Amino acid sequence: MFKNTMKTAVLLAGLGGLIVGIASLLGGGSSGAVMFGLVIALVMVGGSYWFSDSLALKAARAQIITEADNPRFYGLVRDLAVRANLPMPTVAISPSDQPNAFATGRGPNKAVVCATSGLLESLTKEELEGVMAHELMHVRNRDILIGSVAAAIATAISAIAQMAMFATMFAGGGSDDEDRPNPLAILLVSMLAPLAAGLIQMAISRSREYEADRSAAELLGTGEPLALALEKIEVLATQRPMMVPPAQAQAYIHNPLSEMHHKRRTGVDVGRLFSTHPNTADRIARLRAMTF
């Protein structure tokens, strides 16, 4: 737990340092652009965070259920919430055939957990417990908030970088001003900073997935149910496509939009750096290596 928490803190600090570095490069005269980029990011991501539950449910075409609608699933979530010392979340089911699940909401008191119909039909009770324990750990660990903070900083970096690039391309005169930042340096940073921010944001997402796996295994006293569930999901997801907006895909226990990994001839999976989710085989191996 400490290792993943520290990794997340370091990555968030890296994002913060990146935006400070960009601001320093642009110089004091461009502080207005920096603030404008921050405002844009806070409005965009803040709105998404505040309405995260309704946006995610709409994207998944999910319906909120009561215990009368599905006693088995609702009761399973309720029992896990009690064990995790969490308020009872809103429970929903998406009609997708792909076995998958996600958690969303502004915090433990406003949480939503959702499973697809494919998940409910494909997994045993123990495997389903593993998946839903994982989702409830996202709620307990406030990963939706952490992801939103990372997204806000990354969005701000991209907005600031774009404004800096356009300002440099269309600025006239003043090229001999010694105090003016090097235009080539600004253009280079404007292109590389959003990429770096995106990579850090994805690394944070992967770190939170590993931590939710670990927390779920700890709650259940074993990582085997979730490991078995991930094995099934990995196989069935490739056979049952699921279309969701890219912005929502990272919330799922298995990325519904990237079932196949593209590898170089060396066999190195370069796609992992650009993935919001850890490699499934790595997750399974970690779960099975855990002892409690």
**Residues with catalytic function:** 135
End-to-end distance of the chain based on CA atoms, in angstroms? 13
> In the structure encoding, which two tokens stand for residue 56, read together?
């995610």
Radius of gyration over alpha carbons of the chain, in Å? Answer: 21
Alpha-carbon gap, residue 255 to 81, rounded angstroms: 24
Burial class (CB in 10 A: 0-12, 13-18, 19+), 217: buried
Q: What angle do CA 267, 268, 272 make, to 5 degrees?
A: 135
**SS3 assignment, position 250:** coil
Helix axes 183-220, 143-170, angle to 10 degrees: 170
Going by C-alpha positions, the residue among 212, 258, 237 that lies closest to residue 116 is 237
